């Protein structure tokens, strides 16, 4: 039996005719953040203009999360401190260079975030998927209840939390 061919098909299925290309995220319409393929990466400088631009873009995304949740009145605006890890994927993804980055914010939060980002051919940096908080934040975000936004929040008034929040 000949495999089925569907001209407008977006994915590859073994029950349909297959192209002569590998079945991986570089060749299929799978968003990068959902790709489980393992690609080779190389550590790159954490103190060059590209690293700075990536760090600033991730920071902007974190602050946009707080703004979108309408928590700017109770959460501080995060300030980028430095990139602690930066790896570049050896292969291009739809013409863009991909990176995995870990960044640290300035005190008082000292929050650590990780994200996958892409740099387009024009030099624009975009976060792929979600930014993840990778260090503990404990009760420093107790001024908000939204579980979606808590990882991005460091409450402006930490003293009130210590006296009003009971465990």
68-123: pLDDT as tens digits:
999 999 999 999 999 999 999 998 887 899 999 999 999 999 999 999 999 999 99
Of the ranges 11-15, 60-64, 163-167, which one carries the lowest mean pLDDT score? 163-167
Local confidence band at 165 (pLDDT 50, 70, 90 cut-offs): very low
Look at residue 147 in the predicted model and tell me its pLDDT: 94
Instruction: Please state the rounded mean pLDDT for residues 25-44.
Output: 76
pLDDT of residue 67: 97
Q: CA 86, CA 51: separation in Å to the nearest integer?
A: 7
What six digits make up the tokens of 140? 């420093």
Element (H, E) at 65: helix 49-68
41-164 belongs to which CATH class? Answer: alpha beta
What's the pLDDT score for residue 11?
Answer: 63
140: enclosing H helix or E strand: none
CA distance 17 to 121: 33
How would residue 164 be classed by pLDDT, with cut points 50, 70 and 90?
very low
CA 45 to chain centre: 19
Give the Å distances, CA to CA, from 16 to 21, 70, 131, 144. Answer: 14, 47, 36, 49
Q: What are phi and psi of 152, to 5 degrees?
A: -95, -5
């Amino acid at each position: 039996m000949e495999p089925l061919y569907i001209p407008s098909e977006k994915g590859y299925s073994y029950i349909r005719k297959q192209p002569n290309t590998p079945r991986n995220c570089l060749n299929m319409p799978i968003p990068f953040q959902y790709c489980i393929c393992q690609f080779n990466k190389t550590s790159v400088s954490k103190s060059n203009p590209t690293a700075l631009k990536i760090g600033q873009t991730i920071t902007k995304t974190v602050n946009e999360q707080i703004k979108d949740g309408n928590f700017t009145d109770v959460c501080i605006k995060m300030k980028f401190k430095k990139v602690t890890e930066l790896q570049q994927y050896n292969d291009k993804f739809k013409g863009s260079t991909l990176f995995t980055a870990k960044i640290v914010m300035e005190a008082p939060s000292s929050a650590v975030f990780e994200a996958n980002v892409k740099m387009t051919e024009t030099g624009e940096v975009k976060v792929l998927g979600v930014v993840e908080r990778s260090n503990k934040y404990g009760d420093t975000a107790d001024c908000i209840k939204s579980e979606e936004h808590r990882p991005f929040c460091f409450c402006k008034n930490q003293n009130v939390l210590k006296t009003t929040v009971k465990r």
